[in-house]
Amino acid sequence: MDSDMNSISSEDDFLDQDSDLSLEQGDADSDFDGDEDGDMMGFESQDKIMKPGRKAYEVEFKVYSPKDIQAYQSKQVTEVSSILGQPPEATAILLRYARWNKERLIESYMDKQEEVLEAAGLSENEGNTSKIKKVKGFSCDICCEDDEDLDTFAMKCGHRYCVDCYKHYLSQKIKDEGEAARIKCPGDDCNRVVDSKSLDLLVSTDLQDSRYQELLTRTYVDDKDNLKWCPAPNCVFAVDCSVKARDLERIVPTVHCNCGHGFCFGCTLNDHQPAPCSLVKRWLKKCEDDSETANWISANTKECPRCNSTIEKNGGCNHMTCRKCRHEFCWMCMGVWSEHGTSWYNCNRFEEKSGSEARDAQAKSRQSLERYLHYYNRYANHEQSAKLDRDIYQKTERKMMSLQTTSGMSWIEVQFLEAASKALQECRQTLKWTYAFAFYLARNNQTMIFEDNQKDLEMAVENLSEMFEKPVDALSDLKVEMMDKTSYCTKRRVILLTDTAENLKAGKGNLLEASEMLELERNSYPWDE
Amino acid sequence: MALPKRIIKETERLMAEPVPGISAVPHEENLRYFDVTIDGPSSSPYEGGTFKLELFLPDDYPMTPPKVRFLTKIYHPNIDRLGRICLDVLKSNWSPALQIRTILLSIQALLGAPNPDDPLANDVAQRWKEDEKAAIQTAREWTAEHAKKA
């Protein structure tokens, strides 16, 4: 972890977003646990840390509600406030400025207090404190009102405006522009940040409670590398995980939110184990670009045996003349046309040498494309099947009901169906990504083991899937078998994921070199270079 | 809707103490809409030209910045074909304490100091960086052709 040490000691990257923010001694510890003494209620019950028996493909994480995050923020503010001797309002601004890196904030604050205050927008000018007052002969620069009894407000920077304008300005920033943590003084070119005390004075409690707090929490989560919002629609939870961006080549950090959504902490896409984020990105891009085109080309075209141009046959005649190189050949046997003699439009010459050579060449040039399609079609198939399984899942509940009435089984006795359905979903998700992963694997023994594991899982899944579609009256007899299969599927999945994760972590993966990957992707482009 | 005091004051002041090289006159039927002219700053490729602009004060002015656009064709890396201007104080750095007068001065300053590193018109900016002399020459020609004083 020497790179950590470097980033701590250098001052330049004080605000470096990528740098390590959770600097607590053991870096596997997230900011949220450490020395906290359980005074934040609710945390214990949500504790999802896997005990030491954690599997190789699992990572530590915790789920937090917006309330937890708010409480934690204020706790940190109080703590740092007493160390720096700054009021909580200013400390909150400082912490936000330092992107909640306490250690570095304290260190640099001790070093060069003035600079830090200035940069955070807290520099002192005159001694006038932030409060609402009437000033004689005042005219507001924003609205040009100059009534005698106009209420005015200024922060320590001394940029004074009437209270109405100030309020209007703040609520516009909060409501319309979604700013919160770093709203600046309305004065031109003034960097002073509006603190919470001033906000208390000027912004209605309604707006503060709802929108402002929400925005502050959002900024907090966005600022911290170890926190991410759950991407599921309408989900309010954030997940805390200490896996760093630089580890994503070796770890696939799948986390599970309290809302039930499983996603990758690295890229926030749906769970894509065992494939690492970078491959997922590559794969999705590749598929988006080519898959349909590649499929069509594979099904409808052949290549000219001489110049490899892709040719679509658009008439019934087998006598082909390449547009590009004028090569004449037979569509059926791919042999030279002139050898067909007088038996035009009727090719039955499979044995001829020229034809079989041409076909070999064709097969070879199509190999890359076919290889890609092999993986893509299986990937897409599992995606599709998972969707269908999901439909079945919705029917499962009905099945469970009718099973209870027809066979007299109790509610608890039919739960195996739900378990099976869940396992099916999970395994298909994994299988889908094994195919994307395999596209980028080199041919070696490790890959063969991987493929064996993949095959075992796939067979188990298909078996279970088949049973699932049986009529309801047959299901009760299959119960034991289905439970067996369910646990077998789950086991196979664990084995596959553990094996891949261990190899990936140890850095002895069987992944291709980056250049080889690029070549593969290029060669399987469906069109000619 | 009655015109806010702020706009009335600003307009009065623009009329009473005009900024040298800049004029801004509100339309009679819409006092939020201004016809603006800016003289090209001396020792810039826009010297000798008078550029027409339009300026509009939106409903929530001065909480949001005025909308300003060049009407005269101009060859400048931070002004595009439609006359739209890339200037920080017209966007993120707007402050309600700024005024029409200060904004127009900023635009005049932008004419004197083009910033090809933060371009709006990419083709112009690229030329500006690759061959500044030629770009300045083009700017001069455009000024002579489109921004002649009436």
Measured distance CA(A74)–CA(A467) in Å, rounded: 54
Counting Cβ atoms within 10 Å, is residue A11 exposed (0-12), middle (13-18) or buried (19+)? exposed
- Answer yes or no: is pLDDT of A488 > 90: yes
Among candidates A143, A172, A189 on the partner chain, residue whose Cβ is nearest the Cβ of B6: A143
Among candidates B9, B64, B95 on the partner chain, residue whose Cβ is nearest the Cβ of A144: B9
By the 8 A CB rule, do A287 and A510 touch? Answer: no
* Predicted model pTM: 0.62
- Answer yes or no: is pLDDT of A399 > 90: no
pLDDT at B149: 67
pLDDT at A509: 63
pLDDT at A492: 93
For A45-81, give the secondary structure using H, E and C: HHCCCCCCCCCCCCCCCEEECHHHHHHHHHHHHHHHH
DSSP classification of residue A193: B
Per-residue tokens: A269: 């896409």
Q: Is the minimum CB–CB distance between B95 and chain A shorter than 8 Å? A: yes
Percentage of chain B surpassing pLDDT 70? 98
Measured distance CA(B116)–CA(B109) in Å, rounded: 14
Q: How far is B58 from chain A (nearest CA, A)?
A: 14
Architecture of domain A131-221: 2-Layer Sandwich (3.30)
- Answer yes or no: is pLDDT of A266 > 60: yes
pLDDT at A125: 53
Give the residue-averaged pLDDT of A340-363: 64
Which residue matches tokens 């076919």? Answer: A370
pLDDT grade for A510, boundaries at 50, 70 and 90: confident
- In angstroms, how far apart are the furthest CA atoms of chain A? 111
CB contact under 8 A, A186 and B97: yes
The count of CB pairs under 8 A between chains A and B is: 38
Residue ranges of domains in chain A: 3-30+66-119, 131-221, 277-302+367-528
Chain A residues whose C-beta is within 8 A of a chain B C-beta are 141-145, 159, 161, 165, 168-169, 172, 186-190
Measured distance CA(B80)–CA(B86) in Å, rounded: 8
By the 8 A CB rule, do A376 and A426 touch? Answer: no
pLDDT at A336: 80
pLDDT at A452: 92
- Answer yes or no: is pLDDT of A293 > 80: no
By the 8 A CB rule, do A510 and A450 touch? Answer: yes
Number of independent structural domains in chain B: 1
Q: Which residues, in sequence order, are bridge partners of residue A262?
A: A256
CB contact under 8 A, B5 and A143: yes
Q: Select, from the ranges A83-92, A174-183, A387-396, B98-107, the one with the highest average predicted confidence (pLDDT).
A: B98-107
Q: Which of A144, A230, A264, A317 is catalytic?
A: A317
pLDDT at A176: 82
Per-residue tokens: B33: 């809409």
CB contact under 8 A, B95 and A172: no
Give the residue-averaged pLDDT of B49-55: 94
Distance from chain centroid for Cα A314 = 45
Give the residue-averaged pLDDT of B52-74: 93
Among candidates A145, A186, A189 on the partner chain, residue whose Cβ is nearest the Cβ of B96: A186
CB contact under 8 A, B60 and A172: yes
Q: Kindly report which listed range (A10-19, A477-486, A490-499, B52-61) carries the lowest average pLDDT score.
A: A10-19
Helix (H) or strand (E) holding A134: strand A133-134
Among candidates B5, B97, B98 on the partner chain, residue whose Cβ is nearest the Cβ of A145: B5
pLDDT at A39: 42
Packing angle between helix A353-407 and helix A472-505, nearest 10 degrees?
Answer: 120
CB contact under 8 A, B97 and A187: yes
- Answer yes or no: is pLDDT of A493 > 70: yes
Closest CA to A97 of A9, A191, A214: A191
CATH code of the domain in which B41 resides: 3.10.110.10
- Answer yes or no: is pLDDT of A242 > 70: yes
Give the residue-averaged pLDDT of A202-209: 80
3-class secondary structure, B109: helix
Q: Is the minimum CB–CB distance between B92 and chain A shorter than 8 Å? A: no
CB contact under 8 A, A187 and B5: no
pLDDT at A526: 56
Per-residue tokens: A279: 């491959």
- Answer yes or no: is pLDDT of A317 > 90: no
Q: Which of B53, B86, B110, B139 is catalytic?
A: B86
Q: Select, from the ranges A117-121, A171-175, A349-353, B95-99, the one with the highest average predicted confidence (pLDDT).
A: B95-99
Q: Which residues, in sequence order, are bridge partners of residue A153?
A: A161
- Answer yes or no: is pLDDT of A9 > 70: no
Q: How far is B131 from chain A (nearest CA, A)?
A: 34
Q: How far is A172 from chain B (nearest CA, A)?
A: 8
What secondary structure does DSSP assign to A215-241, as a single string? HHHHHHHHH-TTEEE--STT---EEE-
- Answer yes or no: is pLDDT of A341 > 70: no
Q: Give the nearest chain B residue to A173 (CA atoms).
A: B63
Which residue matches tokens 């041409």? Answer: A358
pLDDT at B1: 63
User: Residues B73-96: pLDDT tens digits?
Assistant: 999 988 888 899 988 888 888 999
Peptide bond into B62 cis (omega under 30): yes
- Answer yes or no: is pLDDT of A49 > 60: no
CB contact under 8 A, A161 and B97: yes
Q: Give the nearest chain A residue to B94 (CA atoms).
A: A188
Q: How far is A175 from chain B (nearest CA, A)?
A: 13
Q: Which residue has the higher pLDDT, A204 or B47?
A: B47
Give me chain A's average pLDDT, please.
Answer: 79
CB contact under 8 A, A159 and B6: no
CB contact under 8 A, A141 and B97: yes
pLDDT at A78: 92
Percentage of chain A surpassing pLDDT 90? 18
3-class secondary structure, A12: helix
Range of the domain at B116: 5-147
- Answer yes or no: is pLDDT of A27 > 60: no
Measured distance CA(A369)–CA(A521) in Å, rounded: 9
3-class secondary structure, A176: coil
CB contact under 8 A, B96 and A169: yes
pLDDT grade for A496, boundaries at 50, 70 and 90: very high
Q: Is the minimum CB–CB distance between B65 and chain A shorter than 8 Å? A: no
Q: Is the minimum CB–CB distance between B98 and chain A shorter than 8 Å? A: yes
pLDDT grade for A291, boundaries at 50, 70 and 90: low
Query: Which of A142, A145, A167, A173 best tests the B interface by mutation, with the highest count of B CBs <10 A?
Result: A142
- Answer yes or no: is pLDDT of B66 > 90: yes
pLDDT grade for B45, boundaries at 50, 70 and 90: very high
CB contact under 8 A, A143 and B63: no
User: Residues A131-155: pLDDT tens digits?
Assistant: 788 888 888 989 888 888 889 998 8
pLDDT at A52: 52
A317 is catalytic: yes
pLDDT at A97: 85
Which amino acid is residue B118, in one-letter code?
A: D
Sequence-distant (≥ 6) Cβ neighbours of residue A389 within 8 angstroms:
A421, A424, A425, A428, A465, A468
- Answer yes or no: is pLDDT of A47 > 50: no
- Angle formed at CA A388 by CA A382 and CA A393, multiple of 5 degrees: 120
pLDDT grade for A285, boundaries at 50, 70 and 90: confident
Residue A236, phi then psi, degrees to nearest 5: -105, -5
* Burial readout A104-129 (b: 16 or more C-beta within 10 A, e: otherwise): bbeebbeeeeeebbebbbbeeeeeee
Q: Give the nearest chain B residue to A144 (CA atoms).
A: B6
Query: Chain B, 3-42: which have a CB under 8 Å from a chain A CB?
Result: 4-6, 8-10
Residue A442, phi then psi, degrees to nearest 5: -80, 160
Q: How far is B26 from chain A (nearest CA, A)?
A: 19
CATH number of A277-302+367-528: 1.20.120.1750
Measured distance CA(A277)–CA(A148) in Å, rounded: 64
pLDDT at A349: 56
Per-residue tokens: A332: 């059926």
Measured distance CA(A204)–CA(A220) in Å, rounded: 22
Query: Which of A160, A183, A188, A192 best tests the B interface by mutation, with the highest count of B CBs <10 A?
Result: A188
pLDDT at A525: 62
pLDDT at A31: 43
3-class secondary structure, B85: strand
3-class secondary structure, A120: coil
Measured distance CA(B127)–CA(B54) in Å, rounded: 27
Give the residue-averaged pLDDT of A240-252: 87
Half-sphere exposure (Cβ direction) of B17: Cα atoms closer than 13 Å: 4
User: Residues B118-140: pLDDT tens digits?
Assistant: 777 778 888 888 888 999 999 99
Query: Which of B63, B88, B92 best tests the A interface by mutation, with the highest count of A CBs <10 A?
Result: B63
CB contact under 8 A, B97 and A159: yes
